[in-house]
Amino acid sequence: MNWDEFQKKAVPEYIRIRESKKNSFVPFSRWAAIREAYVLHHLGITGNMVSLFRIVLVVISLYLFSRFVAGELVTAFFGVALMAWQLNLDGVDGALARVQDRVSDFGDALDNLGIDYARTSFWILIAAMSQNLPLVISSILVAYLLVPFRQYQLAKSKDVVDRFVANFMYVPVLWVIVPSSMLMAAVLGVPPLLICRTVSWFYICLAGIWFLNCLWRNLVIAPSKQSADEEDRMAFLAAGAEVGDQSESQDKVTQ
């Protein structure tokens, strides 16, 4: 399979259209991923192999970055670099599956496992590095609220708070921008322990604000709207019945 045929099958038109609406990081990542996929395809590597390798990369990245709190900034930097590569490989396994006609529900779930694992582990790891048990317990709740529970809610509706939270939920932000900022702060002399606790508290507050908004929207606004809609429906039916009675009265007068 030549390059043009590979590229057309690996990145179909609907994916190009979808990615054209995203930020500038996505086209760059796709540009690199499609070339990696082309090489791996000719080496006989499948998409599921890449997905499993990505999970291994997440484990290694987590360990390397955990050395941040011990002041091993170079080791932590390599952890961030490996995680960035893992995120880039997210576009490789899917491309290989499409080219090799091996698309499946299991492959899709395996593909998402690396991203979801990286996302949820971020808050728990940072809290563990803060050496504060209440922060760890709170961050486990944050991981659940901002990943599976939030995905369930976003399937129903979105508002301005959802869009604001999404800016800090984007995986490259979680595992590239935030860790890089933590490393820069440490280089400038800020204690790593303080940095970890600050980041943990930030996401705990962010999750709390989002959850309170979710409760307000679903337990207060939605019932009020349903009640108002029901009142409008009853008023409409009453008006229709009144018009019907008036028509019936006019018919009797005519007779």
Sign (positive or negative) of CA dihedral 232, 237, 238, 240: positive
Q: Which residue has the tokens 């086209």?
A: 27
CB-based contacts of 61, cutoff 8 Å, min separation 6: 79, 80, 82, 83, 86, 118, 175
Domain ranges of the chain: 3-230
Single out the residue of 43, 41, 139 nearest to residue 95, CA to CA: 41
pLDDT of the residue at 249: 57
pLDDT of the residue at 30: 82
Question: What kind and span of H or E run contains 212?
Answer: helix 192-216
Which residue intervals of 43-177 are DSSP H helices?
A: 47-66, 73-88, 90-99, 105-129, 133-144, 150-154, 160-169, 171-172
**How far is CA 89 from each of CA 49, 95, 98, 184, 218, rounded to the nearest angstrom?**
11, 10, 15, 26, 37
pLDDT of the residue at 85: 92
Which parts of the chain register pLDDT below 70?
21, 23-24, 152-158, 222-255
User: Each residue of 38-89: pLDDT tens digit?
Assistant: 999 999 999 999 999 999 999 999 999 999 999 999 999 999 999 999 988 9
Q: Is 37 exposed, middle or buried (0-12, 13-18, 19+ CB in 10 A)?
A: buried
pLDDT of the residue at 80: 95
- Domain 3-230 classification at class level: mainly alpha
pLDDT of the residue at 46: 92
215: its two tokens: 């409760």
CB 197 within 8 A of CB 132: yes
Q: Is 28 exposed, middle or buried (0-12, 13-18, 19+ CB in 10 A)?
A: exposed
Conformation bin of residue 103: beta by default, left when phi > 0, alpha when psi is -120 to 50: beta
pLDDT of the residue at 160: 82
pLDDT of the residue at 163: 81
